[in-house]
Structure 1
């Protein structure tokens, strides 16, 4: 029978959580890229914006949680980024912008920082 220390289990849990977050951000990036490539407000745009919005709203909820162990300043910065992404999604939804690439670029930077 294997016995693991609490620290080993927690480290695995953090690694698993980061991997899931990377996968979620990968999906958002690919949906946004598909919407960008259609070059008009389409079914792809609706799906990409809805998914991306859900992702970042979930991230904000997690970042606001007192149990979140990230540094306060990092949490605040990530919440600011999330607010910008949500505003950009709203502008695209209202057909006042087509800045998919900006959202893709920022999301890619965040995803790459999860390593």
Structure 2
């Protein structure tokens, strides 16, 4: 990479960060970490790759939890509470995956469901249509069902 292309990329990155809204950033981040978890799952013999992907996902959800707990977070209290609860579940499930007592698929599914909600929310904002379905509640209900069938 030349100095000129590096400078160009830096300028692009700066503009992208200024113009990209938080939902888009969250969606992109979840897409990246989910892709890493899928790649780790598909590399069954590469446990260090799985560890890296799961710990990255756990860190993403911890950052979400910190943001949700911040007093200036503008989401409705009920939604914040459900997402914080979901982030705590992700934390516990991550250790279960690392302990090899469960697989990574449920973490991937939760990320995908949240991504769907972020995408629907983005469409709602730009198209001025009805609000998106409550993805956090759907994810919580599915996780509760999984917990009751595996316990």
Report the TM-score when normalising by structure 1: 0.81
Rounded to whole Å, the distance in 1 between the matches of 2:106 and 2:90 is 9
The Cα of 1:43 is off from its aligned counterpart by 2.1
Stretches of 4+ aligned residues off by more than 6 angstroms? none
Rounded to whole Å, the distance in 2 between the matches of 1:64 and 1:51 is 20
Report the TM-score when normalising by structure 2: 0.63
Q: Which has the higher contact order (CA 8 A, sep 6+)?
A: 1
Residues 1:102 and 2:123 aligned together: no
- Tell me which residue corresponds to 2:43: 38
- Out of 73, 77, 86, which is 1:81 matched to? 86
- Tell me which residue corresponds to 1:111: 115
The Cα of 1:15 is off from its aligned counterpart by 5.6
* Deviations 1:47-79 (CA, angstroms, capped at 9, x unpaired): 101210110000000001110000000001111
Rounded to whole Å, the distance in 2 between the matches of 1:103 and 1:54 is 13
The Cα of 1:41 is off from its aligned counterpart by 5.8
The Cα of 1:34 is off from its aligned counterpart by 1.1
In 2 relative to 1, CA 53–69 (structure 1 residues): closer, same or farther, beyond 3 Å? same
* Deviations 1:74-101 (CA, angstroms, capped at 9, x unpaired): 0011111111111111111122222x11
Instruction: Point out the structure with max Rg over C-alpha.
Output: 2
Please tell me the root mean square deviation across aligned C-alpha atoms, in Å. 1.7
Rounded to whole Å, the distance in 2 between the matches of 1:73 and 1:94 is 32
- Tell me which residue corresponds to 2:76: 71
Q: Which moved more, 1:75-84 or 1:13-22?
A: 13-22
Unaligned regions of 5+ residues in structure 1, if any? 1-12
Alignment coverage as a number of residue pairs: 102
